[in-house]
Structure 1
Amino acid sequence: MQNRHPDQDVVVIGGGFYGAVIAVYLARQRGLKRVVLVEREPQLMTRASYNNQARVHNGFHYPRSFTTAYRSRVNLPRFVRDWPEAVKTDLTKLYAIARRNSKCTARQFERFCRNIGAEIQVADPGLHALFDPRLIEEVFLVEEYAFDSTKLAAWAERELSESGVQIRYQTRVTAISRSTDAALNVTVQRRDGILEQLSSRYVFNCSYSGLNQLTGDFPGVSTGLKQEITEMALMQMPPALDDLGVTVMDGPFFSMMPFPARGLHTLSHVRYTPHLHWNDQQGLDPYQKLSQYDRVSRVDRMIRDVGRYIPAMLDARYVESLFEIKTVLVKNESDDGRPILFEKHAELPGCYSVLGGKIDNVYDVLEKLDSEEFPTSQPGNSQEQ
C-alpha cells in the first residue's frame, strides 16, 4: 500500500446529497482548500438520494413528532429558495384522514397544523370526490413539494467542481485509523481493488446505510440504527391523479407523490413498502444484503389497498420499483421523528458521522457545522493551491 497522495484537509465519505452539501460548505464557507469526496458509485446521488419519495416535507407527515414537523416548516422555504430549479411546486397536495384505525382525527390534524404554523384548508368537492367517503373522514389541501434528484445531482457536480472539491468515483472507504501526526488515515479501495491511503485532518462519514461498515479505529456510531429494505413503486397515474400528491394517514398510511426525475409518481405503503428490517451492526453490510435480496414486488397489494380509498388508483399503470436501504434511528420508531444524527467521535478527533432522515434536514446539519471550528491553516502547512 503506497501513500502517494498529498495530505487532505477533509475527506467526505459518500456522494449523496448530504455529502455533497457538506463538501461544498466546508470548501466555500469554511475555507478548507483540499477537500476530497469519495463515492462508491460512478455518479453522485444515485442511491438513497434518488431512490426515495422525492418529497420536500412541510411538517404534515409527523403529527407525533412536533420537533421534526416544526423543523420541516422552517426548512422548506429555505430549500425552495436555495434549490428552486430542482423543486416542483406546481402540484396539488392533499392529506386525507382515514375514518378507521387512524392515529389522529381530522380535528386533531387541524390542531396539529395550527401548532406548527402550517396553513391548510378543506379541499373542494371535486377533490373530495376522488376518495371513498366511507373510508375518509376529511381531505385537506396543503402546501408541499417534490424535488428532482437529477437536478440536485447536476447542482452538486457543478458546485463541487467550482469549489475545487476532488471527486473520486467508484472508490470505497474501508477504514479510518489514527495517525502518529494527529491526522486521520483513510484507507480507500479503488474499482480495480487496489488499496490506497489518504491522510486527512477531518473525515465526514456521510455514507448513510454504510455508516458502521468502516474498520480500523472507527468506533461506530453510538446511536442505534435500524436498516430496512424498502420498495418504492413507480407509477404512471391516470389523468384524474396526474400532478396530484396524496397522503392518507395515520394508521392506514400510504402516499403517492410526483417523481420529477422520471415524470412518474412514487407509491409507498406503510405495510408493503418495508420488506425486511434488522438492527444495524458492524460486519453486516446492508448494501450486500440488498444485492442478495430477491426483489419480488408487492405493488399489487399496494394498489389493491390504495384503490379502496382512491378508486382511480386502480387505473394507474405500474412501471417498476426502486429497492433501496432505508436507515432510521431506533429511538424514533415509535413517533416517526426524523432528527439528524451528528456525532463527533472522541476516539478519533476530527472524525464525524452524519445521517439525515430527509432532505430538508440538511439545514440542521449546517447549523451544527456552524458551531464547529475548522482552522484553515496549521503551522508549516501552506493552504495555497
Structure 2
Amino acid sequence: MKDAIVIGGGFYGAMTALYLMRVRGFAKVTLIEREQGLLKRASYHNQARVHNGYHYPRSFVTAFRSRVNLPRFLQDYPDVVVKDFTKLYAIARNNSKVTAKQFERFCQGIEASLQAAPEEFSRLFDDRLIEAVYLTEEYAFNSAILAAEVGRELEAAGVELLFESRVTAIHGTADGLSVEVEGKGGAQQERHGRYLFNCTYSGLNQYGGDFPGTATRLRHEITEMALVQMPPELRNLGVTVMDGPFFSMMPFPARGLHTLSHVRYTPHLNWEDVNGKDPYGLLDDYDRASRVDWMVRDVSRYMADVARVEYHDSLFEVKTILMKNEGDDGRPILFEQHPQLPGCYSMLGGKIDNIFDALERLDAEPFH
C-alpha cells in the first residue's frame, strides 16, 4: 500500500497531498499542520499576488515559469482570483536596476502584455522620480477562499488532517519513515509512512532524529506587510515600482484592504538557517513594532496620495529564500530527495504558482 505523511498545511503541503491521492494513486495520506487550519502562515501572510512574470526582470527563468504557471492556477482556482483592479508597474529614474527600455524588452521576451499607462494613471506619480508607468495584466488571490476550497478538496480526496500538531523528529525505519508528533496539550504520538514530504517552508530543518537537513542553504527574514485602506484615488489600483529599494501596493482580498511593502523596510531581521533556531519561535518572540510610517513617508515621494492611507495593522511572517538567490530575482523551488532517508523529500517555493514546478518534479519520481 502506498502511503505518505505530508508535513505542512500551507498551499504546497495541501497540493502535494492532493497530488499523491488524485494523480499517483496513494491509498493513504496524512497531512500534519501545527496551526489550527490550512494556509494560516506564509500562504496567507503575503502580497496575495498571482505572478505573471513582471516582477522578475533580472531572472528570465523565474519570469517565464510564472507566465507558464499563471494559466494553470487560473484554470484550477478561478473563484479565488481577483481581477477587478488595475495593475501598474513603474520604473524609477534613479537607483533602478532596470531602465524603462530594458523592462519593455524583457516583457516582450516573456510575451507579457505591456502598455504605456494613460494620463489618468501616470499623473498619480511624480515624473521627476518615475521614468515610465505601464499597464500590466497581473492579479491577486483571496487566500481565505483558497483555504476553504483546498480544505474541501482534501476532504473529498480522503486525506487525513492533523491540526495543532507538530512533527519534532523524523526517523528512518526498515519499511519507510516514522515521525514523532506533538499534539495539542503536549500529547505525543508516532506516525509511519512509506514516503514523507516536508513542506514546512521556514521550518524545513527544525527536526531531530535522522533528518539530515537540506543540502541547499537557506536564509530567513522576519517581514512586515502593512495592511492599509487606500484613499479613493488609489483604491482600485495595484502598484509596483521597480527595480531596487522601492515598493509594492497590492489588493489583499481576504481583508478588503491593500498590502504595502517596501524593499528597504519590510525585512526586519534576517539570519542563516540552522537547526535548533526555530524561525517561528523567533517570530513569536519578536516585538513587531511597525515600520509603516517609514514606508508611507518614502512611498509618498513617488505617489503623493499615499500620504493619506489609513493604516489598519500588519502581517508579520517569516520569509525564507535560497541563499544562492540572495543577489538576484530568481525564485526557483527547492526540491530535494534525501539519500540518507529513502522516500523523504523536502520542498519549498517562494510563490504560489511555483507549486506546478514542484508537482512536475514529483511526476518524475518512481513511487512504488
Flag whether TM exceeds 0.5 (same fold): yes
Aligned to 1:64, which of 58, 61, 71?
Answer: 58
CA distance in 2, matches of 1:354, 1:13: 10
Are 2:145 and 1:151 equivalent residues in the alignment?
yes
Are 2:242 and 1:246 equivalent residues in the alignment?
no
| Equivalences for residues 55-204 of structure 1 within 5 A | 55-180=49-174, 182-204=175-197
Cα RMSD for the two superposed structures: 0.9
Aligned position for 1:381: none
SS in structure 2 of the partner of residue 209 of structure 1: helix
Following TM superposition, the consecutive aligned residue runs of length 4 or more in structure 1 with deviations greater than 6 angstroms are none
Query: CA offset at residue 56 of structure 1?
Result: 0.4
Aligned position for 1:321: 314
SS in structure 1 of the partner of residue 14 of structure 2: helix
Query: CA offset at residue 194 of structure 1?
Result: 1.9
Query: CA offset at residue 252 of structure 1?
Result: 3.3
| Equivalences for residues 353-372 of structure 1 within 5 A | 353-372=346-365
Structure 1 contact 11–38 (Cα < 8 Å) conserved: yes
Query: CA offset at residue 133 of structure 1?
Result: 0.8
CA distance in 2, matches of 1:252, 1:275: 14
Structure 1 contact 16–47 (Cα < 8 Å) conserved: yes
Query: CA offset at residue 178 of structure 1?
Result: 1.1
CA distance in 1, matches of 2:144, 2:194: 31
Aligned to 1:339, which of 314, 332, 336?
Answer: 332
The normalised TM-score by structure 1 is 0.94
CA distance in 1, matches of 2:247, 2:148: 30
Aligned position for 1:291: 284
Tell me the amino acid that sits aligned with residue 71 of structure 1.
R
- CA deviation string 1:341-360 (max 9, x = no partner): 00000000000000011000
Query: CA offset at residue 8 of structure 1?
Result: 7.6
Structure 2 contact 92–243 (Cα < 8 Å) conserved: yes
CA distance in 2, matches of 1:349, 1:157: 29
Where in structure 2 are there 5+ consecutive unaligned residues?
Answer: none
Are 2:306 and 1:306 equivalent residues in the alignment?
no
The normalised TM-score by structure 2 is 0.99
- CA deviation string 1:109-153 (max 9, x = no partner): 001111111110000011001001111000000000000111110
Where in structure 1 are there 5+ consecutive unaligned residues?
Answer: 1-6, 376-385
Tell me the amino acid that sits aligned with residue 352 of structure 2.
I
Aligned to 1:226, which of 216, 219, 222?
Answer: 219
Change (3 A) 1:8 1:198: farther
Query: CA offset at residue 58 of structure 1?
Result: 0.6
SS in structure 2 of the partner of residue 231 of structure 1: strand
Query: CA offset at residue 248 of structure 1?
Result: 0.4
Aligned position for 1:43: 37
Structure 1 contact 8–199 (Cα < 8 Å) conserved: no
Query: CA offset at residue 165 of structure 1?
Result: 0.2
Query: CA offset at residue 251 of structure 1?
Result: 2.1
Structure 2 contact 2–26 (Cα < 8 Å) conserved: no
Structure 1 contact 33–164 (Cα < 8 Å) conserved: no
CA distance in 2, matches of 1:101, 1:42: 43
